[in-house]
Amino acid sequence: MLRPLAGVSRTICQCQKSSIQVRYASILSEIGPIPGSEVNTTRLGRGPGNKKGKTAGRGTKGQNARTGDNNAFFEGGQTPIHIRFPKIGHNTSYDL
């Protein structure tokens, strides 16, 4: 939706009195973030004086405190579903 610029609504061209020029501006140039919606992100692991320093809010020990140590098929010691159920369907060595 285009609308005339504030202050410059209509100017009559000097060369042709019958033609009317209207300057339009996009509303996209006027919109911005809602006040209060921009919040600075908390920087993690930046020293003991910081609120989220040292362990960065992950706790001290355990699987969730480690990095890169997650197995999508691990079910906490229970036999995984891909082991429990039998393999069914057509599966040959030349079928890829």
Residues 6+ apart with CB under 8 A from 57: 44
Q: Using DSSP bridges, classify how beta strands 2-4 and 24-26 pair: parallel, antiparallel or unpaired.
A: antiparallel
pLDDT digits (tens, 9 = 90+) for 18-56: 556 666 567 777 888 899 999 888 899 999 888 898 998
- Rounded Cα distance between 94 and 96, Å, is 6
List, in order, residues 6 or more apart from 1 with CB less than 8 Å away: 27
Residue 55: alpha-carbon gap to chain centroid: 25
Share of the chain above pLDDT 90, in %: 7
Residue 14 pLDDT level (bands cut at 50, 70, 90)? low
pLDDT computed for residue 79 by the predictor: 92
